[in-house]
């Protein structure tokens, strides 16, 4: 699978800096396995007919779900990373049209709505996360799964492995930092939080649009 490897677009890091999904490092494999199990469990609770992966990167999840027969699409702000996602799709015999370039702030319900929206490892990169959540609110019909790094644990673990010491363990590109409680509080302004998972070292939420109450 083609990985972005730290490319930047408009001064923002796009995609994955390394292939965390295909890593042979046992610690990385264990951590990613926990993330995948939590995400698969929450998706199973919804059993969606359609998924939109916002911030799809190189397309790992979109391609995986497409191969399961789910109607799926992916979007990302970076045209460079979308080109990689389209190449990865064609390498697997899938349509390049599963992916399109679109900022989270520009999502439109008439073309981007899905029964389940998945937006993982995105909000921590946004200068305006509240605006991002409002955009997600318009396309989640009615479910959202979202995750962010759990602070300060994320930064502490980075420092423990000798990474980003001058930034106190904060990963490059992460401009927002939330504890579990703070992230739940933020998202609760826009969605009903139904389930909470804490695969090390993330906070992951299954939510339902507040508009679905009415």
Q: % helix / strand / coil in the chain, to the nearest 5?
A: 40, 25, 35
State the Cα angle at 84 between 78 and 86, rounded to 5°: 100
pLDDT score, position 214:
46
| Residue found under tokens 């906070």 | 203
**Higher pLDDT among residues 5 and 51, named by residue:** 51
Does 2 fall in a domain?
A: no
State the CATH number of the domain containing residue 77.
3.40.50.150
CA distance 167 to 161: 14
Mean model confidence pLDDT for the chain: 92
Structure token digits, residue 149: 């790094």
pLDDT value of position 44: 97
Burial of 162 (0-12, 13-18, 19+ CB in 10 A): exposed
pLDDT value of residue 5: 78
Please check whether residue 23 lies inside any domain of the structure: yes
Give residue 180's pLDDT band: very low, low, confident or very high (50, 70, 90): very high
In a domain, 150, yes or no: yes
For residue 1, tell me if it sits in a domain.
no
Q: Domain of residue 55: give its range.
A: 8-213
Cβ atoms of 104 and 136 closer than 8 Å: yes
Which residue, 149, 127, 129, 120, is CA-closest to 60? 120
Whether residue 160 has a cis bond before it, omega within 30° of 0: no
Question: Which among 122, 132, 110, 165 has a CA at the least distance from the CA of 15?
Answer: 122
pLDDT tens digit sequence for 118-143 = 999 999 999 999 999 999 999 999 99
Beta strands in 11-150 (DSSP E): 12-13, 50-54, 71-76, 99-101, 114-120, 140-149
What confidence tier does 63 reach under pLDDT thresholds 50, 70, 90?
very high
Contacts of 106-112 with CB under 8 Å at 24 or more apart are 106/135, 107/54, 107/75, 107/135, 107/136, 107/138, 107/139, 108/138, 108/139, 109/138, 109/139, 112/52, 112/73, 112/75, 112/139
Question: How confident is the model over 150-171, as pLDDT tens digits?
Answer: 999 888 888 887 878 887 777 7
Q: How many structural domains comprise the chain? A: 1
pLDDT digits (tens, 9 = 90+) for 90-107: 999 999 999 999 999 999
Per DSSP, the residues of 58-69 read: TSHHHHHHHHTT
* 3 belongs to a structural domain: no
pLDDT digits over 2-46, tens only?
A: 877 777 777 777 777 777 888 888 888 999 999 999 999 999 999
- Asked if the structure places residue 192 within a domain, the reply is yes
Q: What is the pLDDT of residue 212?
A: 62
Query: Within a domain: residue 56?
Result: yes
- Give the phi and the psi of residue 140 in degrees, each rounded to 5: -80, 115
């Amino acid at each position: 699978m083609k990985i972005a490897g730290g490319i930047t677009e408009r001064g923002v890091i796009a995609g994955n800096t390394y292939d965390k999904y295909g890593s042979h490092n046992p610690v990385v494999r264990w951590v990613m396995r926990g993330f995948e199990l939590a995400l698969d469990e929450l998706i199973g609770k919804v059993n969606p007919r359609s998924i939109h992966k916002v911030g799809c990167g190189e397309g790992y999840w979109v391609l995986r779900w497409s191969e399961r027969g789910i109607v799926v699409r992916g979007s990302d702000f970076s045209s460079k990373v979308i080109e990689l996602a389209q190449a990865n799709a064609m390498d697997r015999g899938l349509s390049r049209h599963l992916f399109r370039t679109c900022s989270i702030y520009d999502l439109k319900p008439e073309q981007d709505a899905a029964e389940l929206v998945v937006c993982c490892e995105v909000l921590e990169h946004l200068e305006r996360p509240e605006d991002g959540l409002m955009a997600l609110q318009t396309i989640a019909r009615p479910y959202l799964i979202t995750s962010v790094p759990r602070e300060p644990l994320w930064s502490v673990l980075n420092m423990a492995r000798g990474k980003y010491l001058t930034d106190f363990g904060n990963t490059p590109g992460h401009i927002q930092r939330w504890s579990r409680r703070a992230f739940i509080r933020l998202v609760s302004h826009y969605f009903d939080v139904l389930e909470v998972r804490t695969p090390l070292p993330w906070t992951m939420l299954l939510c339902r649009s507040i508009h679905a109450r009415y």
